[in-house]
């Protein structure tokens, strides 16, 4: 199995659009994962049929047993995250603020606090036209999206390890979810845009990716909106010896395909679809060069 993640240094670059189109164009069996768990939307372009939903238990958080609580207030004094509320003299943990450090369990003189597992999201296992799709949803306000990304990947690997390709729609940015996504990947395709922030965030995400040593490739979406920046990004990629394998033009057909809930390559004649077809052909060569089963 070859593991390929489509990522971006910033949101709104068209990463999910490219992922959906690649799932449409690349040969072989595949399993897909949407690791952008804070704003999962690959399903909007894949029309999956839900097979199963499993709860995701994040880090444990503190719970006070009111029947044992004295109440002395020591937990509130020592909680550095301001996660202990007092209402009418009764002490309660705010689960959205609790960071699970367990300090309150040590300072409580009555042993009234315990650490309990808490559901912070759910993982969905679905079927799409291009293979199984694993996607997830975080409870609003819940953290630990890096842990949830890890759980999404693990679900896909456990259930579909015989597929030729593991294709991931990754999160934007360079934080914990991104690190969890690119860990263990063979290739990352970074989708950027021709702007000052596009170039800046590209540099940052490349620096993070290099710690994990995958093959790094770049594509520019809407490259024709600011050709001077496209040129700057191309020059930087050349200097860094990072192959630029795609330049996708601005194309209203992309918006129309999102509205219809299908990959933009569903209609092969549009400028964006044609550019992604070229990108996919180059990418397929990269996958073959990796020398794994394909």
The residues of the shown chain that bind ligand SF4, judged by CB under 6 A, are 61-62, 64, 69-75, 79, 81, 83-84, 91, 93, 98-104, 108, 110, 112-113
Kindly report the three-state secondary structure assignment for every residue of 198-240. HHHHHHHHHHHHHCCCCEEEEEEECHHHCHHHHHHHHHHHHHC
The nearer residue to ligand SF4, 75 or 218, going by C-beta atoms, is 75
Distance, first Cα to last Cα, the chain: 8
Contact predicate 137/122, CB 8 Å = yes
In the complex, the smallest distance separating the C-beta of residue 152 from ligand SF4, rounded to whole angstroms, is 25
How far apart, in whole angstroms, are the C-alpha atoms of residue 220 and residue 234? 9
The nearer residue to ligand SF4, 80 or 241, going by C-beta atoms, is 80
In the complex, the smallest distance separating the C-beta of residue 73 from ligand SF4, rounded to whole angstroms, is 5
Contact predicate 261/45, CB 8 Å = yes
The nearer residue to ligand SF4, 83 or 134, going by C-beta atoms, is 83
The nearer residue to ligand SF4, 71 or 271, going by C-beta atoms, is 71
How far apart, in whole angstroms, are the C-alpha atoms of residue 82 and residue 115? 17
In the complex, the smallest distance separating the C-beta of residue 144 from ligand SF4, rounded to whole angstroms, is 13
In the complex, the smallest distance separating the C-beta of residue 190 from ligand SF4, rounded to whole angstroms, is 36
In the complex, the smallest distance separating the C-beta of residue 65 from ligand SF4, rounded to whole angstroms, is 8
How far apart, in whole angstroms, are the C-alpha atoms of residue 236 and residue 43? 33
Contact predicate 83/74, CB 8 Å = no
Count of Cβ atoms closer than 10 Å to residue 215 Cβ: 17
Chain centroid offset of residue 162 CA: 22
Peptide bond preceding 71 in cis form (omega within 30 of 0): yes
In the complex, the smallest distance separating the C-beta of residue 178 from ligand SF4, rounded to whole angstroms, is 25
Place of tokens 């601005």: 250
Six-digit token string for 73: 């207030």
The nearer residue to ligand SF4, 106 or 250, going by C-beta atoms, is 106
The nearer residue to ligand SF4, 85 or 127, going by C-beta atoms, is 85
User: What 8-state DSSP symbol labels residue 139?
Assistant: P
Cα three-residue angle 55-60-62, rounded to 5 degrees: 130
Cβ burial, residue 202 (10 Å; 0-12/13-18/19+)? buried
The nearer residue to ligand SF4, 8 or 61, going by C-beta atoms, is 61
In the complex, the smallest distance separating the C-beta of residue 69 from ligand SF4, rounded to whole angstroms, is 3
In the complex, the smallest distance separating the C-beta of residue 95 from ligand SF4, rounded to whole angstroms, is 9
The nearer residue to ligand SF4, 107 or 253, going by C-beta atoms, is 107
């Amino acid at each position: 199995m070859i593991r390929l993640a489509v990522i971006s240094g910033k949101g709104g670059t068209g990463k999910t659009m490219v992922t959906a189109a690649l799932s449409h164009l690349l040969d072989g069996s595949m399993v897909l994962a949407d690791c952008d768990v804070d704003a999962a939307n690959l399903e909007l372009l894949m029309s999956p049929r839900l097979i199963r939903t499993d709860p995701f238990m994040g880090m444990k958080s503190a719970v006070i047993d009111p029947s044992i609580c004295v109440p002395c207030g020591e937990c509130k004094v020592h909680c550095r995250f301001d996660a202990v509320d007092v209402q009418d003299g009764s002490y309660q943990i705010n689960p959205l603020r609790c960071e699970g450090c367990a300090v309150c369990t040590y300072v409580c003189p009555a042993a009234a606090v315990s650490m309990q597992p808490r559901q912070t999201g759910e993982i969905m296992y679905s079927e799409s036209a291009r293979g199984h799709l694993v996607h997830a949803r975080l409870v609003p306000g819940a953290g630990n999206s890096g842990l949830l990304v890890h759980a999404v990947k693990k679900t896909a690997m456990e259930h579909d390890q015989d597929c030729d390709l593991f294709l991931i729609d990754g999160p934007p940015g360079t934080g914990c979810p991104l690190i969890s996504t690119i860990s263990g990947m063979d290739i990352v395709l970074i989708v950027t845009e021709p702007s000052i922030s596009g170039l800046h965030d590209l540099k940052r995400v490349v620096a993070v990716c290099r710690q994990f040593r995958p093959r790094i490739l770049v594509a520019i979406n809407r490259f024709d909106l600011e050709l001077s920046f496209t040129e700057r990004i191309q020059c930087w990629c050349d200097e860094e010896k990072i192959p630029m394998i795609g330049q996708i033009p601005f194309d209203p057909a992309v918006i129309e395909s999102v509205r219809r809930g299908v990959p933009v390559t569903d209609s092969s004649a549009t400028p964006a679809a044609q550019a992604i077809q070229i990108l996919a052909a180059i990418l397929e060569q990269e996958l073959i060069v990796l020398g794994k089963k394909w």
